[in-house]
Amino acid sequence: MAKKETTLRCVTVLTVIAVICGVLLAVLNPLLYVPPTVDDLANNFTAEGEWSIEELNADFEKGNGGKVLLAGKLTNAEGVVTHYGLTIKTNSDAQLGECTYALYFDAQTDTLVEAKYIVDGTTGGKTYAAYGDKGANFEDYLVQITSENVFDSYTYPQTGATKTLKAVNNAFIMGARYYYNVYVAGGNE
């Protein structure tokens, strides 16, 4: 009888601890969240100029699999916008945690010129590892943004990291959709 009481007491204590931790996480997570800043764009891109934050367009900031967290523009010394940058967060899925990417677009050619990780949410190494060496630079995605659907037909490699690759692809789909609708079709300058 004493063994059952001890087991029941252990289960009760562990349940109470789990509930307390869950409540603390729910309360503290929004309070301790640090949103992305213009430094996240500036520290990952080497072009000369000054970055400034732009107001997000609410019509295009959310998409399937994540959302645009920050939009910024890089202005050179002559006051000309040379690049636009977006930080995009993908949702967590299975073993993949939330990932955040910085995407950089050339303002004159509407071309995605660079992509970098800000936060890698994978559990088994870098997300691009399944792409091999070519994927390390996201070369397949560095294209001119001619429509919001420019990446919809892209098929990523089928590997053991398929959910991870899908999340990477979703980040680029969301970035292309946002960039095209706000800066190309929308004519935002």
Residue 81 has a pLDDT of 93
Q: Tell whether 189 is covered by a domain.
A: no
Residue 6 has a pLDDT of 83
Q: Tell whether 159 is covered by a domain.
A: yes
Residue 1 has a pLDDT of 60
Q: Tell whether 167 is covered by a domain.
A: yes
116 and 172 within one domain: yes
**Full domain range(s) for residue 9:** 1-33
Q: Tell whether 126 is covered by a domain.
A: yes
25 and 106 within one domain: no
Q: Tell whether 59 is covered by a domain.
A: yes
81 and 143 within one domain: yes
177 and 95 within one domain: yes
Q: Tell whether 135 is covered by a domain.
A: yes
In the block, tokens 């400034």 appear at 52
29 and 54 within one domain: no
Residues of the chain with pLDDT under 70: 1-2, 92-97, 120-140, 154-165, 187-189
- Amino acid present at 36: P
63 and 8 within one domain: no
Sign of CA dihedral 149, 154, 155, 156: negative
18 and 88 within one domain: no
Nearest to 119 by CA among 83, 155, 66: 66
Q: Tell whether 54 is covered by a domain.
A: yes
144 and 175 within one domain: yes
Q: In DSSP terms, which residues pair with 70 in a beta bridge?
A: 87
143 and 125 within one domain: yes
Quote the tokens at residue 43: 């520290």
Residue 73 has a pLDDT of 94
Q: Tell whether 85 is covered by a domain.
A: yes
Quote the tokens at residue 26: 């729910």
Domain count for the chain: 2
72 and 24 within one domain: no
Residue 170 has a pLDDT of 79
110 and 20 within one domain: no
161 and 101 within one domain: yes
